[in-house]
Chains A and B, each alone.
Chain A
Amino acid sequence: MAAKKLRRAQLSQEMCERLSRYQITTCQDFLCLSLLELMKVTGQSYYEVQKLLCKVSRACAPKMQTAYEMKLRKSVNPSSAFLTTTLHSLDRVLHGGVPCGSLTEITSPPGCGKTQFCIMLSVLATLPVSIGGLDGAVIYIDTESAFSAERLIEIAANRFPAYFDSDEKLLCMTRSIHLYRELTCCSVLKRIMSLEEEVISKKVKLIVIDSVASVVRKEFDTKLQGNLAERSNFLTRGASVLKYLAEEFSIPVILTNQITTSLSSGPGIRADLVSPADDLSLSEGSSVSGKRDSGCVTAALGNTWSHSVNTRLILQYHDLPTRQLLVAKSPVAPFSTFFYTIEKSGLVLQDRKDQTNLVWEGTNPALQPIRVRNTALKDTSHDAALPSPTGETSRNASNL
């Protein structure tokens, strides 16, 4: 919209020629000038310039819709508003599943199940609508080379044995998952920008980027001056393109993120965690100091990124082999927690009968502490992040 040429904004031919002499060819150039500059450049009077401004604005302003029209449109087509995850309690809390038309982020320490979750959701997106899928192709941008086609088939065969009863069906499903390996920020951004045509031609219904954090952290060292601003720039640009794709085609976009330590009392340095071996030194450090706010593990990529994603799910360790899934940011769901394990068929929720609505007191999604492997092993009863769910629900029930 911004790059729209002025001649398509219905300005007269001679006006367009005159403006192009000053290098003003697009609507964006025109609207960025002040009124006095416009008067000088167009040679028109104040009132004329106002009228021109309105004309150009009309060419790029968005269309108006009332909230009522939006609701009607949604109610006409309710099933396509979500991608069900087949984790029933999670779907219920999220009012249907992973929402279409917005960005969902999955954050976790290494080895918790991010890629497994992404692979599982890819299978789901290819299923026909009658079983709860979106009946479309999947674009999977893999930056860590963690995608395994064998695991994909294993999950599909074990989760939906009734549907994938023949090899042919499995192969058909694998054909609709398009994998791209991108290893630098630049190539990821270029790939995202080129996705619009792919989405239309291949009838894509899900975009997965696994993971955003790995490329960004390889290239932007936030300890160096200026890098923080550049990183924000890259992230917000990527986020706005992805939001455009998500909204335009009404599809879910899933991104994965890593973890980092944020030392709130120290000098704003972010130590990066790359391997599970680092967990050990980290947890020892924090328990020795004893204070809660000096050093805790949170989602990486900073504040700006936390603003850009609409939903944030955190996966963390509880006690091996159980892990925990937290809904840390969502416009429609309260803070909730679920236990799960990773099995042959992907993620499986442990539905404990006594917890109907697992709600807990969450906090800023950008600073939500995440449990890594060793803290989980050490302190299962006394934890910084979460009170036990049963205690929580009974306490809340008495106050409602």
Chain B
Amino acid sequence: LSRCRCIPAMQRELGTLPLAPALRARLAAAGFQTAQELLDTGPCGLSKEIGISREEALEALQVVRQECDGNAARPAGGPGATRKFTALELLEEEQTQGFIITFCSALDNILGGGVQLTKITEICGAPGVGKTQLCMQLAVDVQIPECFGGVAGEAVFIDTEGSFMVDRVVDIAAACVQHCHLIAEAQQEEDHQKALETFSLENILSHIYYFRCRDYTELLAQVYLLPEFLAEHSKVRLVVIDGIAFPFRHDFEDLSLRTRLLNGLAQQLIIIANDHKAAVVLTNQMTTRIGQSQSTLVPALGESWGHAATVRLILHWDNRLEPSKNCEILFVAMRSSLFPGSFLPSLYHKVISLSCSVKCVLYIMSPCSTLRLKSHAVIP
């Protein structure tokens, strides 16, 4: 269905209009070619000529009229229409684009400011490395008020693996609130205090919308319904799909169907990300690829899926540093209350404890004192 704007609306061929196929076949058989002809004939004439009822003819004419008028009158930025920008306008738009900050300067720097809105970010990694943790953290960080550098949005969390832990989100949210309080104390500005009134644990949790999809059909259905949901909840700025790989890794004898469904999903997510100015974050598993001489770990779902995301983050375990110790990799998520606003590149330690609710997830980095980033943000 091409919507070519250089042809005057009335001269559009019937094949480009969204009519029912049977109707289109009849119109073609009767010799109609452009939209103008249809409108000139009128509903009664149309119904007599091709043998449909008057109501159906009227409906068809309304569709045609809406299409033609709509294209002419639709503003450039409307959803669904083709948009035209100069590169300068795009640059200005990108620079004012919000980022979802994570309060971890190392990670934010690597990503160029944070997780970018209107783009798809994919997080791949070995089991247990922290993908779901990072997603849960982002669902909290998207709600950080604007005066602290956040986007003050809400989050949709689509879970296909069942690894969402509410208690952990409570920990992360509590620590985030604490962190903001410390910043507010240090900087003593009035809008900080006001923002903190609404940035409470209860509010944070109420604005994470959780969906549990048990197979790929439910996932497809949910993504079809997302635009409607996002239109009702216009403050949503983050859509997380935790485990895009899991429902597609079994029950698919026909791999080409799987590729097609995944491509369709990717397209819909791109449209959602753009139309609603939201960031889409997906997590992917790693799978073993058996090569000729060795087996390597690669992101799952195949080569073609690699094109779906704009930013691909690969988290992996670092085994190279010292042979006797296996160090974790690193994304320092949030640190304790000792250093508000800045993070010392020293040793962190993975501690998750209920007793001290300030700490979130801290990862061990390299045992030497310099901050060595082993993660790769691959921007294709």
Given A54-B224, A66-B206, A361-B364, residue A236 in contact with residue B324 (CB < 8 A): no
The distance from the CB of B357 to the nearest CB of chain A, in whole angstroms, is 13
**Contact digits for A297-308, partner B, Cβ 8 Å, 1 yes 0 no:** 000001110111
Whether B238 is near chain A, meaning CB under 8 Å from some CB there, is no
CA distance A332 to B172 in the complex (A): 12
Minimal Cβ-Cβ distance residue in A for B169:
A67
Question: Is A267 among interface residues, defined by CB-CB distance under 8 A?
Answer: yes
Q: Would you call B205 an interface residue if the criterion is a C-beta within 8 Å of the partner chain's C-beta atoms?
A: yes
Answer yes or no: A373 CB below 8 A from chain B CBs: no
**Which residues of chain B from 144 to 191 have a CB within 8 Å of any chain A CB?**
157, 161-163, 165-170
Q: A44-B20, A236-B249 are in contact. Are A247 and B132 (CB under 8 A)?
A: no
Residue of B nearest to A99 (CB): B165
B356: shortest Cβ distance to chain A, in Å? Answer: 10
Contact A27 B349, beta carbon cutoff 8 Å: no
Hey, which chain A residues are within 8 Å of B351, CB to CB? 334, 359, 400
B246 interface hit (Cβ, 8 Å): yes
| Contact between chains at B206 and A265 (CB < 8 Å) | no
Interface presence of A365 (CB below 8 A):
yes
**Cβ–Cβ contact B317 & A64, under 8 A:** no
Find B349's partner among A1, A44, A399 (CB 8 Å cutoff): A399
Per the 8 Å Cβ criterion, residues 206-244 of A in contact with B are 228, 232-234, 236-237, 240, 243-244
With A64-B210, A237-B251 known as contacts, the answer to whether A361 contacts B217 (CB < 8 A) is: no
Counted as pairs of residues, one from A and one from B, with CB atoms less than 8 Å apart, the total is: 226
Q: A306: which B residues are within 8 A, CB to CB?
A: 126-128
Q: A56-B221, A240-B250 are in contact. Are A66 and B210 (CB under 8 A)?
A: yes
- Which of B29-37, B88-96, B291-299 lies at the interface with chain A? B291-299
Distance of A96 Cα from B38 Cα, bound (Å): 71
Pairwise interchain contact A399-B21, C-beta atoms closer than 8 A = no
Q: In the complex, A293→B326 CA distance in Å? A: 11
The size class of the interface chain B forms with chain A is 35 or more
Task: Please state if A366 and B127 are interface contacts (CB–CB under 8 Å).
Answer: yes
Range of interface residues on A (Cβ < 8 Å): 35 or more
Which of the segments A45-53, A116-124, A141-149 contacts the partner chain? A45-53
Question: Once bound together, how far apart are the Cα atoms of A189 and B79, in whole Å?
Answer: 47
Chain A hits for B297, CB < 8 A:
303
Out of A64, A101, A304, name the residue touching B209 (CB < 8 Å). Answer: A64
Take A54-B225, A331-B168 as given contacts and tell me if A240 and B215 are in contact as well, using a CB distance cutoff of 8 Å: yes
A283 to B133, alpha carbons, bound, how many Å? 36
Q: Give Cα A84–Cα B165 distance, bound, in whole angstroms.
A: 18
Asked if B328 CB lies within 8 Å of chain A CBs, one says: yes
Report chain B residues within 8 Å CB of A237: 250-251
Q: Judge whether A303 and B127 touch: CB under 8 Å.
A: yes
Q: B328 near A363 (CB under 8 angstroms)?
A: yes
C-beta contact mask, A51-94 vs B, less than 8 Å → 1, else 0?
00110111111111111101100100000000000000000000
B214 CB-CB contact with A under 8 Å: yes
The 4 closest A-B pairs by CB, nearest first: A268-B295, A46-B18, A363-B326, A2-B217
CB<8 Å pairs between A and B, sample of 25:
A31-B224, A43-B20, A45-B19, A57-B221, A59-B221, A61-B222, A64-B209, A67-B208, A68-B206, A102-B163, A228-B288, A228-B290, A237-B251, A267-B294, A302-B288, A303-B127, A303-B287, A303-B288, A304-B287, A329-B128, A331-B133, A334-B352, A361-B328, A362-B328, A366-B126
Interface residues of A (CB under 8 A from B): 1-2, 27-28, 31-32, 34, 39-40, 43-48, 53-54, 56-68, 70-71, 74, 95, 101-102, 228, 232-234, 236-237, 240, 243-244, 246-247, 264-268, 292-293, 302-304, 306-308, 310, 312, 328-329, 331-335, 359, 361-367, 382, 384, 387, 396, 399-400
Beyond A267-B294, A307-B246, 4 additional contacts (C-beta under 8 Å) are: A2-B215, A243-B161, A331-B168, A363-B317
